[in-house]
Amino acid sequence: MKKMQMALSALALIGIPTLLSNSNGPGGNRTGSPGSSGTCQSCHGGTADLGASLSVKITDKATSQEVSNWQADKTYTIQLISTGGASVKRGFQFTLVDANGKSQGTFSNAASKCNIYQAGSASVVGHSSPGDGSAWTCDWTAPSTGGTELTLYATSVCSNNNGGNGGDQFSQLSKVFAGSTSGVSSVEKFQDLQLLGNPCEGRVVWSRQVESAMLFNSQGQMVAEGSQCQELEARELPHGIYSLRLIDGPIRQNLPVVIR
């Protein structure tokens, strides 16, 4: 009898880490990024739909403006948001890596119930205990050299509170976070593009050189185009209203033009 009790006690102790592992955070890299160990779905299987959805918001820490590209040495706040469903227990992981699955930059200031840790070549942010809220935040400081395109990979579990791994809802997403090689943000570049004189006579000229430019008439037909340019020839075009489309990296700008 005594031997049986000791055996049962040993089995119970073996089971404790398994039971507590997810509640203390899954560890490892289960974000679905290159080089990861898959996703949370490897444990939380099934295709349950508990009404939850997953999204991410990246903002410039200094201005609180949402951004789609990063600049060297700047700090951003990453907010992973799980909404919908009635669950009070949710978990997550996310990482920000290059095409080879290697982290760039540095995570810091993780929110309550969040951990930052290294898993192979990736730095991962994950829950340290199940969250009863719907958002997790962490700061990220960009590396000193810009230009690299990074991707944020995130996974999340919305629990059905049954004490096991079955019947939970798994969600995942990825978001490209492009690197800027200059110190000028996309918003600033967008505002910088302006026509120099409108109405125009003979030439359509704008404030700086762009990768490509196209001019369309009122019927939507392209009547002029150029690359690596700051103006388009318009001497032979009939007087009227046109649309100028300027493209420069991630910037897409359409400007109304009057030619006379």
- Mind listing the domains of the chain with CATH numbers? 21-179 (2.60.40.4060), 186-259 (2.60.40.1930)
pLDDT attached to residue 7:
39
> Using 50, 70 and 90 to split pLDDT, how confident is the model at 191?
low
pLDDT tens track for 82-141: 887 767 678 889 999 998 899 999 999 998 888 899 999 999 998 887 665 568 899 999
Alpha-helical runs (H) found in 22-162: none
pLDDT attached to residue 4:
38
DSSP state of 1: -
Q: Which of 146, 137, 132, 124 is nearest to 35 (CA)?
A: 124
Q: Which residues are CB-contacts of 84 (< 8 A; sequence separation ≥ 6)?
A: 50, 51, 52, 53
The answer to pTM > 0.75 is no
pLDDT attached to residue 125:
93
pLDDT tens track for 207-230: 889 999 999 987 778 899 999 999
> Using 50, 70 and 90 to split pLDDT, how confident is the model at 8?
very low
Is the pLDDT assigned to residue 11 strictly greater than 50? Answer: no
